Amino acid sequence: MTTLAQRLGLCATICFATVSTAGTIIHVDGNATGPTHDGTSWCQAYLNLSDALAAATPGSTVRMADGTYVPDPTGLSDAREATFAVPADVIVEGGYAGCGASNPDDRDAAIYETILSGDINGDDGPNFANNGDNAYHVVTINGGSPAAMIDLLTITAANATGSELFGHHAGGAVRCQSSANIRQCRLINNHADRGGAAILVEGGSTVVERTIMTGNVSEFEGGAILVWSSPITLNNCLLADNHAITDSGGAISTDLAQANIINTTCVNNTAGNRGGGAFNYVGTKMTVTNSIFHGNSANDGSVEDQQITVQASNILFINHSYMQGWTGQYMGDANSGDDPMFVNGPSGDYRLAANSPYINAGDNEAVTLTLDLEGNPRIADGTVDLGPYEFQASAVPAISPMSVVLATIIMLVTGSVVTRNRSITGCSTHRR
């Protein structure tokens, strides 16, 4: 059995060891013992990410230990403007063991989860209760190029409900105003007025890899992602249970944008108007490959249109993908509307079951990553699967009840222990 943390993409092993080969390594650990806190080692780490980012220079890598960190509002007339501003060419990595551990550089987000939270006062309740004083944007990337990177972080509790004049009405967890790479992150339970509760892209080029976005809510459009006049790539991502309350794009909304979606599952998102999964406004080109759009709903359009709505002036290419209600109206090859057969969709387990028609159904030429969302090999049996999770063909098949009965009889008769297959020992019938 996989743990909940593993199914949410918190890898128990290091999936991407994004270590800078040039520049300074700066440590952040809220439990660092000191006595000094200059970031030079784990026990002399900065206590807050804000201080580390102020000290970072191009090429720096900021390594963060487990714990919850909030932006520092000191000196701000509006405390909600506090944000973690990541400069260009700086990497921020979470998931480290930190000061006091036998190996402080151990990196395992299932154990050492690093949380960046907009809940400055630490008083949030369920369903966004008490979030009126939360930070507008937890992370802001606006430093130019080369791209900044955030890796293996959980980002939550943003509340982008401020002035439109200053852009505080959109872009909750991550506001990208210049090129950004977002890898192995969980962007969960963020809120925005206009849109992009998880990610707003309004400048540069943004690449999002092996990242989960769930429980994000926009009052208007783009429940999880809002893209304005910029390119975005989603690769091996899961967007589930995000909501655009009154308008369109329950998970994704694009406007004058380019969107490249690869091996991504977009499921159970909702919109008050159109495009429960994705909505493309004017001037957008979207390419979807090896992906799954299922169970998304909106108040307008056919079942197919509720998955992705495309305005007449926009372009959608969809290849080797599943779309619920598929009619073949869009340009592309090898697409289907057959049931994807998730392991347990109602419980949030969107891996493919062993009988899914989308195992070994993708296009290998679109694959650019070596690992899937759980850290397993991206191609396990010759041809890539659809969605962010690769079914592991080497997994041991389940033992049938009759096999158990026969084995028990043999054990009773012979007094010996008989195993069905040596590979069963210590393994799960599902991949880990």
DSSP 99: T
Q: What is the pLDDT of residue 63?
A: 98
* Domain-located, residue 376: no
175/297 Cα distance (integer angstroms): 26
Let me know whether 405 and 337 are in one domain.
no
Shared-domain flag, residues 418 and 347: no
- Domain carrying residue 411: 399-432
Dump the DSSP string for 247-266: SS-SSEEEES-EEEEES-EE
Query: Torsions phi, psi of 148, nearest 5?
Result: -85, 160
**Tokens 């973690």, located at residue:** 84
Q: Looking at 366, 389, 412, which one is the last position of a domain?
A: 366
Task: Give the integer Cα–Cα distance in Å for 63 and 28.
Answer: 6
Residue 22 is predicted with a pLDDT of 54
**What is the tally of structural domains in the chain?**
2
How much is the pTM?
0.88
Cα gap 125→123, rounded to integer Å:
7
**Confidence (pLDDT) at 426:** 28
Q: Is residue 10 located within the same domain as residue 156?
A: yes
How far from the centroid of its chain's Cα atoms is residue 291's Cα? Answer: 15
CATH, residue 294: 2.160.20
Quick one: 304 and 403 in the same domain? no
Q: Per DSSP, what are the bridge partners of residue 175?
A: 140, 200
Same-domain pairing of 316 and 412: no
User: What are 118's two structure tokens?
Assistant: 């907009």
Q: Looking at the domain assignment, is residue 393 inside a domain?
A: no
Other beta carbons within 10 Å of 408: 11
Query: Is there a single domain that holds both residue 74 and residue 138?
Result: yes
- The model's pLDDT over 320-362, given as tens digits with 9 standing for 90+, comes to 999 999 999 998 999 999 999 999 999 999 999 999 999 999 9
CA 327 to CA 329: how far, in whole Å?
Answer: 6
| pLDDT tens, residue by residue, 50-109 | 999 999 999 999 999 999 999 999 999 999 999 999 999 999 999 999 999 999 999 999
Which parts of the chain register pLDDT below 50? 1-21, 395-432
Question: In terms of domains, do 159 and 274 share one?
Answer: yes
Let me know if residue 379 belongs to a domain.
no
Residue range 404-423, pLDDT digits in tens: 333 433 344 344 333 323 22
With contact defined as beta carbons under 8 Å apart, do 209 and 236 qualify?
yes
Residue 377 belongs to some domain of the structure? no
Q: What is the pLDDT of residue 282?
A: 87
List the structure tokens of 190: 């963020």
